[in-house]
């Protein structure tokens, strides 16, 4: 092999190794960081055709409506707990900290956290969208069984 | 009447842009100079009519014309006048009109500032820009007109601008970002024009470079301001969320960064030509993809505008035409491109090639993380989200080789290098950065994790290596003063960009490692301690603004016996939408930010408060501003302003 070809070969091998290595790394990191989304009924009854239930200790996202009257605050420690609902069973979410501005009873929220009991989630993040009309798309889909509900034109409000 | 004029004016602009698309391209194809000569005036005319149309929307907003649906849903009579103006891009339709204004503005600028270029190239660049203009104008006129009326039943009061957007950051963030997004269309147009002409050489790169750099500078600034806005306005102390919309702006930025580096190689050395063209196509395609993601609402995001599948479909189709057409042309012409230069492994060419590899890999990672949830869902596998840790981890891994290379790269000369010349600089630079970082971190913090140490060292290394290089390049001219004067502006752009990134790296690392927060419940007189500061809660007072009321938590910040500052963390309630908004109080500093957000009232007199101590957080934005300056200084480079030499023109034709 002449030196130029040898150099090219080396470069190509290096590139292939680089690509292979990075794909491996990406897949590994992905596996650890994909959080499945559940609704309260999926969490209790199982999700998908095989009715798979999450295991205790799993990191997941849950979305549902906050059941009015279930928000309980601990005045001293900023601990708060509330129930979420979509179409059936209730799931309790515990959280410590200040809730987002738009957290309100009866509104749709998404929480991210760890399942500590079959129906209890310890959340480290609670999201409520900054839009009074908002219902998370995932929640809307689960509750209403509709996909991409086209909003009425006049609900167009800001980013 | 005025809104109808706005719409009519936009229709006229559309007619002009159709002509702008056809005349020069056809003229260039057939060699008809008269057709090509029409292009600049068409471009300027197009801009004038779009500007008129935009002015009409601003007028409608300023005069509280709530018969216009867009104004009714994005403004109100109590909104301060400056927010009435910015409300014109606070919603979907207006934002697209702003995009159009930018597009027409860039096109007009290209028409005015390329007098020195040969007609055939100038005409093709303008023709391609005209084509892009047509696409967006059809979209605006048919699917997203901001001039629609609510007649005969219109509201007496508007629904107000989303409180989140009532912030100075929001006044400038979208225009800057759009300047960047749309500016990349100029790089795209140059690439397509060069492909059409069939001559891809370094003169093409030279002409395209200042445009690309400027667009990239705006994009950098737009992203930086966006991050600062999120920090100041969302009340969570966060500055980057890996939200799909943020990713949508980061992807074109990463590719554009690769592009400006690759362009410099193409310009100076005549290699990487086809790669550079591909990057130019990719950069603009990604900025279109970003628009598609934001406008179609297919990905749930905090930024999502009200969504409309038709709009998404149109942008997707347009994206397919632009990307498909660009790539097809590229495929047809790329075989004619030949590299001119030769280079060895230890050379600046290879360093810049590696830089491009890293940036493209980073783009692919963001693309994967952004689109995978969508693909997963459409395949019926359920809805997933990809967490921040994924992006953080991948970027942290990529950063290590990237930052090392970034320090070494400038040391290298074109073609080939003797290792011995590099050795000293690398060893001195590496040792100095390790010593300085250790001294800095171990003297300031009790706990220093290996990762924090590594990442901070990398930031310091980029900083020091850049200055070693600056010194060595300036010193060769005998006196340092003289040497510094002789360095070209594109060299200074490199220095600014790299030093800026050094600040960003150090800022992100230190603020991630050493930020602390406390959620506390406080009664008046209570004191909370966080790091070396004491926060004394003085109570809550009522506040009243033009279109909101609410409470402000008054907190005196003390350090020992000294009063540092008094902060007013507000909880506003906007009158019209009844939305609550946390307006964080920030005491900004070069080495630390004190950040305070008021939560809710708990029991009598007690309020929940969130206190953050964020060291070096401001360095990120300082860095971002420095980086963007790199894109602007090159505008003052005489090399790019002078008329092209005759041989350059001949070669381009």
With an 8 Å Cβ cutoff, is A37 touching chain B?
yes
CA distance to partner chain A, nearest, from residue B77 (Å): 17
Which residue is closest to B380 within chain A, CA to CA? A48
- Find the distance separating the first CA and the last CA of chain A, reported in whole Å: 60
**A101 vs B contacts (CB less than 8 Å):** 235, 579-582
Q: Map tokens 């480079």 to a residue.
A: B637
Q: How far apart are CA B605 and CA B554, in angstroms?
A: 13
> Where do the H-state alpha helices sit in chain A?
3-33, 40-45, 137-144
**B606 vs A contacts (CB less than 8 Å):** 75
Record: contact B579-A132, CB cut-off 8 A:
yes
Strand partners, B558: B534, B563
With an 8 Å Cβ cutoff, is A144 touching chain B?
no
Phi, psi (deg, nearest 5) at residue B555: -130, 130
**Number of alpha helices (DSSP H) and beta strands (DSSP E) in chain A:** 3, 7
3-state secondary structure at position B386: strand
Record: contact A78-B519, CB cut-off 8 A:
yes
> What pLDDT sits at residue B308?
65
Q: Say what the ipTM of the complex is.
A: 0.72
Contacts of residue A121, Cβ cutoff 8 Å, sequence gap at least 6? A60, A62, A91, A92, A93, A94, A111, A113, A114, A115
Record: contact B384-A158, CB cut-off 8 A:
no
Record: contact A159-B384, CB cut-off 8 A:
no
- For residue B234 the two structure tokens come to 């969302």
* Facing residue for B599 by CB, picked from A33, A98, A112: A98
> What pLDDT sits at residue B650?
62
- For residue A45 the two structure tokens come to 């009854």
> What pLDDT sits at residue A121?
93
Residue count of chain A, please give it.
159
Contact B553, B528 (CB under 8 A): no
Pairing of strands A108-117, A59-66: antiparallel
Choose, out of B244, B310, B387, the residue to mutate when testing the contact with A (most A CBs < 10 Å): B387
With an 8 Å Cβ cutoff, is A138 touching chain B?
yes
With an 8 Å Cβ cutoff, is A88 touching chain B?
no
With an 8 Å Cβ cutoff, is A34 touching chain B?
yes
With an 8 Å Cβ cutoff, is A9 touching chain B?
no
Pairing of strands A90-96, B607-615: unpaired
Pairing of strands B607-615, A120-127: unpaired
Record: contact A137-B300, CB cut-off 8 A:
yes
With an 8 Å Cβ cutoff, is A47 touching chain B?
yes
> What pLDDT sits at residue A156?
38
DSSP character for A71? -
* Long-range contacts, stretch B148-155, CB < 8 angstroms, 24+ apart: B148/B68, B148/B69, B148/B70, B149/B3, B149/B67, B149/B68, B149/B69, B150/B66, B150/B67, B150/B68, B150/B69, B150/B72, B151/B67, B154/B66, B154/B67, B154/B72, B155/B66, B155/B72
Contact B425, B472 (CB under 8 A): yes
**A150 vs B contacts (CB less than 8 Å):** 307-309
Record: contact A34-B384, CB cut-off 8 A:
yes
Record: contact A101-B582, CB cut-off 8 A:
yes
Record: contact B600-A98, CB cut-off 8 A:
yes
> Which among B124, B106, B260 is positioned nearest to B652, based on CA atoms?
B124
**B394 vs A contacts (CB less than 8 Å):** 25-26, 29
Q: How far apart are CA B58 and CA B220, in angstroms?
A: 27
CA distance to partner chain B, nearest, from residue A36 (Å): 4
CA distance to partner chain A, nearest, from residue B300 (Å): 7
Contact A105, A71 (CB under 8 A): yes
Record: contact B521-A18, CB cut-off 8 A:
no
**B165 vs A contacts (CB less than 8 Å):** 158-159
* Residue B144: how many other CB atoms lie within 10 Å: 23
Domain boundaries, chain B: 1-166, 516-616
Residue B24 belongs to what H/E stretch? helix B2-30
Contact B120, B38 (CB under 8 A): no
Record: contact A151-B303, CB cut-off 8 A:
no
Record: contact B304-A159, CB cut-off 8 A:
yes
Q: How far is CA B136 from CA B11, B129, B139, B216, in A?
A: 12, 11, 5, 21
Which residue is closest to B150 within chain A, CA to CA? A154
DSSP sequence for B284-301: HHHHHHHHHHHHH--S--
* Facing residue for B581 by CB, picked from A7, A101, A158: A101
Q: How many CB pairs under 8 A join A and B?
A: 130
With an 8 Å Cβ cutoff, is A7 touching chain B?
yes
CA distance to partner chain B, nearest, from residue A150 (Å): 6
Q: Chain-wide mean pLDDT for chain A?
A: 76
- Burial of residue B35 (number of CB atoms within 10 Å: 0-12, 13-18, 19+): buried
Contacts of residue A154, Cβ cutoff 8 Å, sequence gap at least 6? B69, B73
With an 8 Å Cβ cutoff, is A3 touching chain B?
no
Contact B297, B307 (CB under 8 A): yes
CA distance to partner chain A, nearest, from residue B521 (Å): 7
> What pLDDT sits at residue A131?
43
* Facing residue for A37 by CB, picked from B382, B521, B602: B382
Record: contact B390-A30, CB cut-off 8 A:
yes
* CATH, domain range A36-148: 2.40.50.140
> What pLDDT sits at residue B642?
60
> What pLDDT sits at residue A138?
54
With an 8 Å Cβ cutoff, is A147 touching chain B?
no
**B384 vs A contacts (CB less than 8 Å):** 34-37
Angle subtended at Cα B458 by Cα B456 and Cα B459, rounded to the nearest 5 degrees? 65
Record: contact A33-B386, CB cut-off 8 A:
yes
> What pLDDT sits at residue B383?
74
Domain boundaries, chain A: 1-34, 36-148
Which residue is closest to A79 within chain B, CA to CA? B519
Record: contact B305-A156, CB cut-off 8 A:
yes
Which residue is closest to B601 within chain A, CA to CA? A75
Angle between helices B202-233 and B244-269 (to 10 degrees): 150
> Which among B273, B295, B640 is positioned nearest to B488, based on CA atoms?
B640
- Name the stretches of chain B with pLDDT < 50: 301-306
- For residue B338 the two structure tokens come to 């030949």
Contact B259, B374 (CB under 8 A): no
């Amino acid at each position: 092999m002449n030196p130029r070809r040898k150099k090219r070969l080396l470069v190509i091998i290096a590139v292939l190794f680089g690509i292979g290595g990075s794909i491996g790394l990406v897949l590994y990191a992905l596996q650890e960081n994909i959080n499945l989304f559940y609704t309260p009924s999926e969490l209790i009854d199982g999700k998908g055709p095989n009715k798979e239930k999450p295991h205790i200790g799993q990191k997941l996202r849950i979305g549902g409506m906050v059941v009015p009257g279930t928000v309980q605050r601990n005045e001293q420690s900023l601990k708060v707990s509330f129930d979420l609902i979509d179409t059936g069973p209730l799931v309790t979410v515990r959280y410590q900290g200040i809730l987002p501005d738009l957290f309100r009873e009866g509104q749709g929220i998404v929480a991210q956290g760890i399942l500590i009991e079959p129906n209890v989630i310890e959340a480290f993040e609670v999201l409520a969208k900054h839009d009074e009309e908002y219902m998370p798309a995932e929640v809307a889909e689960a509750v209403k069984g509709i996909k991409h509900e086209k909003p009425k034109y006049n609900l167009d409000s800001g980013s | 009447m005025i809104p109808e004029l706005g719409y009519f004016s936009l229709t006229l602009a559309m007619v002009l842009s159709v002509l702008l698309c056809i005349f020069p391209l056809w003229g260039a194809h057939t060699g008809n100079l008269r057709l090509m000569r029409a292009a600049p005036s068409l471009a300027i005319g197009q801009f004038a009519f779009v500007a008129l149309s935009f002015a009409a929307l601003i007028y409608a907003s300023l005069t509280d014309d709530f018969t216009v649906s867009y104004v009714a849903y994005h403004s109100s009579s109590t909104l301060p006048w400056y927010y009435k103006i910015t409300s014109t891009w606070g919603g979907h339709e207006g934002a697209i009109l702003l995009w159009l204004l930018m597009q027409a503005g860039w096109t007009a600028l290209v028409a005015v500032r390329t007098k020195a270029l040969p007609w055939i190239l100038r005409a093709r660049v303008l023709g391609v820009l005209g084509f892009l203009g047509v696409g967006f104008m059809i979209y605006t006129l048919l699917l997203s007109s901001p001039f629609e009326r609510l007649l005969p039943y219109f509201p007496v009061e508007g629904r107000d601008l989303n409180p989140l957007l009532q912030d100075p950051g929001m006044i400038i963030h979208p225009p800057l970002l759009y300047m960047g997004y749309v500016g990349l269309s100029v790089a795209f147009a140059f690439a397509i024009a060069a492909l059409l002409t069939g001559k891809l050489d370094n003169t093409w790169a030279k002409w395209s470079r200042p445009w690309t750099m400027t667009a990239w500078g705006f994009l950098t600034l737009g992203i930086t301001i966006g991050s600062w806005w999120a920090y100041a306005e969302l009340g969570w102390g966060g500055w980057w969320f890996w939200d799909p919309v943020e990713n949508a702006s980061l992807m074109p930025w990463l590719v554009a960064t690769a592009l400006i580096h690759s362009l410099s190689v193409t310009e100076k050395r005549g290699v990487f030509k086809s790669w550079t063209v591909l990057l130019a196509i990719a950069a603009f395609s990604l900025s279109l993809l970003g628009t598609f993601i934001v406008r179609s609402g297919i990905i749930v995001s905090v930024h999502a505008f009200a969504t409309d599948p038709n709009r998404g479909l149109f942008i997707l189709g347009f994206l397919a035409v632009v990307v498909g057409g660009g790539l097809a042309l590229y495929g047809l012409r790329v075989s004619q491109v030949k590299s001119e230069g030769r280079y060895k492994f230890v050379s600046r060419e290879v360093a810049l090639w590696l830089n491009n590899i890293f940036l493209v890999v980073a783009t692919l990672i963001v693309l994967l993380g952004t689109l995978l949830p969508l693909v997963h869902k459409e395949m019926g596998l359920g809805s997933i989200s990809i967490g921040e840790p994924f992006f953080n981890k991948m970027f942290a891994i990529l950063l290590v080789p990237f930052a090392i290379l970034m320090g070494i790269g400038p040391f290298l000369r074109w073609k080939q290098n003797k290792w011995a010349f590099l050795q000293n600089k690398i060893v001195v630079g590496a040792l100095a950065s390790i010593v300085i970082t250790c001294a800095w971190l171990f003297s300031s913090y009790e706990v220093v994790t290996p990762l924090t140490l590594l990442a901070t060292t990398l930031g310091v290394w980029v900083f020091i290596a850049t200055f070693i290089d600056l010194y060595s390049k300036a010193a060769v001219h005998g006196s340092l003063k003289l040497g510094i004067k002789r360095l070209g502006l594109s060299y200074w752009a490199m220095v600014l960009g790299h030093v800026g990134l050094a600040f960003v790296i150090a800022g992100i690392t230190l603020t991630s490692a050493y930020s602390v927060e406390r959620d506390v419940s406080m009664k008046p007189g209570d004191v909370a301690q966080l790091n070396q500061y004491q926060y004394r809660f003085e109570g809550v007072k009522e506040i009243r603004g033009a279109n909101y009321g609410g409470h402000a938590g008054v907190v005196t910040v003390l350090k020992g016996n000294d009063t540092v500052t008094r902060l007013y963390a507000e909880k506003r309630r906007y009158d019209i939408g009844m939305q609550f908004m946390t307006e964080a109080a920030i005491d900004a500093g070069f080495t630390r930010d004190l950040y305070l957000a008021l939560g809710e009232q708990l029991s009598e007199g007690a309020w929940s408060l969130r206190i953050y101590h964020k060291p070096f957080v401001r360095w990120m934005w300082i860095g971002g501003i420095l980086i963007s300056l790199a894109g602007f200084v090159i505008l003052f480079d005489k090399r790019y302003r002078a008329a092209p030499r005759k041989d350059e023109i001949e070669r381009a034709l």
